[in-house]
Amino acid sequence: MPSLSTLLFASFPLLLIAIIWQNPDPIIKPITGHIAFKIIRQFFETTHCYVSVKTNSARLPHAECFSVSNGKFSRVFIDETSFPVVKEARKGHVIPGLWDGHGHLLPYGELMDSVNLFGAQTMDGVKERLVRYKASRPEAGTAEQWLRGMGWDQANFEGKWPVAKDLEIGDQFKDMYVMLDRVDVHCIWVSEKVLSLLPNPLPEVSGGETPAKGVFCDNAMDIVMKYYPKPSKERKTKFIKDAMWELNKLGIVGVHDAGVFPSELELYEELSADENWNVRVYAMMECETRNTFCPQDIAKISTTNGMLHVRSVKLFADGALGSWGSAMIEPYSDKQSSSGSLLINATTLSKLTHEWATAGYQVNIHAIGDLANRLAVDAFEEALKGLCPGSTLRECQSQHRFRIEHAQIIHPDDQRRMAELGIIPSIQPTHATSDMPYAETRLGKPRTEKEAYRMRSLLPLNPVFGSDFPVEPADIFEGIYAAVTRRSPRTGLDAEGGTKGWYSSETVTIEDALEGFTVNPAYAAFLEGKAGVIETGAYADWIVLEEPLEAVDLESLRKLKVKETWVGGKRVYKRAGPEEAPWVQN
Ligand SMILES: *[C@@H]1O[C@H](CO)[C@@H](O)[C@H](O)[C@H]1NC(C)=O
Ligand SMILES: [Zn+2]
C-alpha cells in the first residue's frame, strides 16, 4: 500500500497533468503522459535500493535498486536521480535468493523434532543424547509416535554395526519404539519393540541388507516402514513450517525437494497457498512404491503464487557409499567381496525413464556409484533417442533436462557421455568434504582421483548444487565454502588436516558456486528467468548481506550469516541484532 506521503506526493502532479492533458499541445502531451505513467506506476510498486545489488543477470549484472510489484521484480536499475523515486533504501548488499538443488523438506522439519545424533562419537554418546531427549519428550516412543533420531554412524562405534539391544537403555527405554536413521539416511536402526512388529523370518528383499539385528539398509528399510505410524497431518504441517523458517534464516528461498510422496503432495498444495509457506518448492515426486510408474497419483502443478512446482520424478539406482551400498563397476577397495548393489536393473530403469519422460516429467535419478551413474546415463541416452524425432540428443535433453542426483562417482567415459548429452549433475559439495576421510580407502586412489566428487570438471554442465539436508546442514555458505576450498566447513581443513584442499583441482570459484545455488537450479527446475536472478519478471526473492559476497574472505564464508531474506517481495527473515535505522531517501 502506498504511504500517505506517497499519495500526497503523487496527487499534486496528477492534478497538474490532468490540467495539462486538457491542452493537447503535441510536445507537452507525450512528456506529461510519460511523467504520469511513472508516478502512477509507483502506486503498484515498491522500490528498494541497496549499496549494491548483484543480479546474476547479463542485462545489468550490478544494480542498486529494483522495484517489486505483485511479488515479482518489475524494474532493476542503477539509481538515477533524474526523477524522484519513492523508495526504501537500506544498507547492505543484495544477491539473489538462494536455492538448494537437493534437500528434503519434511525430514528436515521432522529432524528438528527428533534426537540429533550427528557428531555423537561413541555409543555412550548416542545413548546420552537419547536419554536427554526422552526426558523432555514423554510422548515419544509409543506405538503411535515412535522416537525418531538421525545422524548415527557405525564408524563411530569402532566400525561395528549397532543392534536393537543397544537401544535398551535402562528401564525408561524398555518397550520403547525407536527408529534412528544413519547419517546418510540409507539405513535405520530400530529397537526390539519395533522388531517385534515385523514378520519372522524377515522377508527377502533385493537391493537391501540387514547387516545386524535391528539395522535395515536401502530397500530393506521398507520392511520396517510398513509398520511406521506416519506423523499426523498436524505434525507434518508443523515440520514444514519449522523447516521453512529455518531455511529462510539461512537465506534460502527455494528448494528442490528430492522425494515427495503423492500423499504429501495434497498437503503441500493446501499449505502452499498459506502466507507462512515461505520457501518455493520444486518437488521431485516419488511413487508410494519406489521406482515405479504412477502418473495417476500425481499431477503437474505450478501454483499461481509460484510457491509450488511439480513436473519431475525421482528414481533410485543405488544406495550410499558410507554403507557400501553404492553400485560400483569394480569392487570396493576396502571390501573386495562387494561392489555394492543396484536397487533396480538396467531394463526397468530405462523403461521407467522413458515412461515418465513420455508423460511429460523430468526424470531425476539418484546415482552414487559409477555403475549406477553409468546406468543412469544409459537410460537417459536411450530415452532421448526415442523422445524427439528429428532433433539431436542434446536438443532433446534441453527439453527434458534429465538430471543425476548426487552424480558422485562417475567413470571418465561416462563423464564424457554426460558432457556430450548435456545431462545435469546435481551435486552436494558438503558430501565431498564429509566423505573425504574415508572415500579414498573405499575407492582406492586412482578411482578417487579420476571419478569421485567432480566439481570443476562438471562445470560446463551447469551443475546444480545442494546440501541434501537434513543429511548435511542446510547452510548454503557451508556448501559454497566446501566447493571453493574442498575443505570441511566444520573444521576448515582437508582430509590430511591441512589447508590445501582435498583434490583441489576440483575446486570452483565463488562465482561458479553461487551459480550452482541460484541460476543452475533455476534452469534445472524449468524456472530460468524466474528464480535465482534479479531481473524484470523474476520472482522478487533476494537476500541481504553485510558485505558483497566477493569481498568476504574465505574463512568467514563458512560462517557467513544473512541479514535479511525476502521472498515474493515480502521480508520473511530479519536477523535480530543492533538495530540500524533504515534510511529513507526522498
Ligand atoms: C528387471 O527387473 C524386473 C522387475 O523387478 C524383472 O521383471 C526383470 O525380469 C528384470 N530383468 C532382468 C534382465 O533381470
Ligand atoms: Zn537426498
What pLDDT is attached to residue 584?
Answer: 32
The whole-angstrom separation of Cα 28 and Cα 23 is 9
Residue 466 phi, psi dihedral angles, 5° rounding: -155, -175
pLDDT band at 184 (very low <50, low <70, confident <90, very high): confident
Largest Cα span, the chain: 94
Q: Which ligand is nearest to the CA of 375?
A: 1
- Which ligand has an atom closest to residue 205 CA? 1
The C-alpha cell at 557 is 564464508
The residue contributing the CA closest to ligand 1 atom 3 is 348
Give the structural domain span for 200: 113-225
Q: Indicate which atom in ligand 1 lies nearest the CA of residue 206.
A: 5
C-alpha cell, 255: 528448494
Whether residue 262 sits in one domain with residue 207 = no
Q: Give the number of the atom of ligand 1 that is nearest the alpha carbon of residue 346.
A: 1
What confidence tier does 437 reach under pLDDT thresholds 50, 70, 90?
very high
From CA 512, how far away is CA 521, in angstroms rounded? 12
What are the tens digits of pLDDT across the range 109-132?
A: 998 889 999 889 999 999 999 999
Residue 578 confidence (pLDDT): 52
- Rounded distance from Cα 3 to ligand 2 centre (Å): 46
Kindly tell me if the per-residue pLDDT of 580 is higher than 70: no
**Euclidean distance between the first and final Cα of the chain, in Å?**
18
Q: What pLDDT does 79 receive? A: 78
219 and 251: one domain?
no
Average pLDDT, the chain: 91
Of the chain, the percentage scoring pLDDT greater than 70 comes to: 90
Q: Which CATH number belongs to the domain containing residue 484 in this structure?
A: 3.20.20.140
480 within some domain: yes
Residue nearest to atom 14 of ligand 1 (CA): 345
Determine the Cα–Cα distance for residues 402 and 413; give it in Å rounded to an integer: 18
Three-state SS annotation for 295-327: HHHCCCEECCCCCEEEEEEEEECECCCCCCCCC
The answer to whether the predicted template modeling score (pTM) of the entire model surpasses 0.85 is yes
What was the pLDDT predicted at 12? 53
| Nearest ligand 1 atom, CA 345 | 1
Nearest alpha carbon, ligand 1 atom 6 = 348
Residue 24, helix vs strand vs coil: coil
Cα distances (angstroms) measured from residue 279 to each of 219, 249, 266, 282, 566: 31, 11, 17, 10, 10
Question: In this predicted model, what pLDDT tens digit does every residue of 331-390 receive, in sequence order?
Answer: 999 999 999 999 999 999 999 999 999 999 999 999 999 999 999 999 999 999 999 999
Average pLDDT value for residue range 169-194 = 92
Residues 530, 73 contacting (CB under 8 angstroms): no
pLDDT greater than 90 at residue 207:
no
Residue 440 sits in the same domain as residue 329: yes
Question: Same domain for 502 and 552?
Answer: yes
CB atoms within 10 A of CB 452: 22
Count up the domains in the chain and report the number.
3
Tell me if 484 is assigned to some domain.
yes
Residues 440 and 500 in one domain: yes
- To test the pocket of ligand 1, the residue of 219, 315, 348, 355 to mutate (highest count of ligand atoms within 8 Å of its CB) is 348
Which residue type sits at 244? M
Per-residue pLDDT, 486 = 98
- Do 189 and 253 fall within a single domain? no
- 92 DSSP 8-state letter: S
At CA 191, angle to CA 186 and CA 194, rounded to 5? 90
Tell me which of 28, 44, 60 is where a domain ends: 44
Q: What is the pLDDT of residues 525-550, one digit of tens each?
A: 999 999 999 999 999 999 999 999 99
* In a shared domain, residues 186 and 296: no
The yes-or-no verdict on residue 64 having pLDDT over 90 is yes
The pLDDT of 250-276, averaged and rounded, is 96
- Which residues, by Cβ under 5 Å, contact ligand 2, an ion? 258, 468
Same domain, 184 and 245: no
What are the grid coordinates assigned to 300, written together?
Answer: 503437474
Q: How large a percentage of the chain has pLDDT more than 90? A: 81
Kindly give, in sequence order, each residue whose CB lies less than 8 Å from that of residue 497, ignoring residues fewer than 6 positions away: none
Confidence of residue 30 (pLDDT cuts 50, 70, 90): low
SS3 call for 97: coil
Report, in this order, helix, strand and coil percent for the chain, each rounded to 5: 35, 20, 40
Q: Grid cell 528429428 — which residue?
A: 390
- Can you say whether the dihedral through the CA atoms of 186, 191, 192, 196 is positive or negative? negative
The band of 185, judged by pLDDT with boundaries at 50, 70 and 90, is confident
Per-residue pLDDT at 85: 62
In a domain, 107, yes or no: no
- State whether 414 and 517 are in the same domain: yes
Pocket of ligand 1 (CB under 6 A): 345, 347-348
> What's the rounded Cα separation, in Å, for the pair 335 and 330?
11
**Domain end: 183, 205, 225, which one?**
225
Does one domain contain both 220 and 242? no
**Atom 10 (ligand 1): residue with closest C-alpha?**
345
Residue 69 domain flag: no
- Which of 186, 205, 225 is the C-terminal boundary of a domain? 225
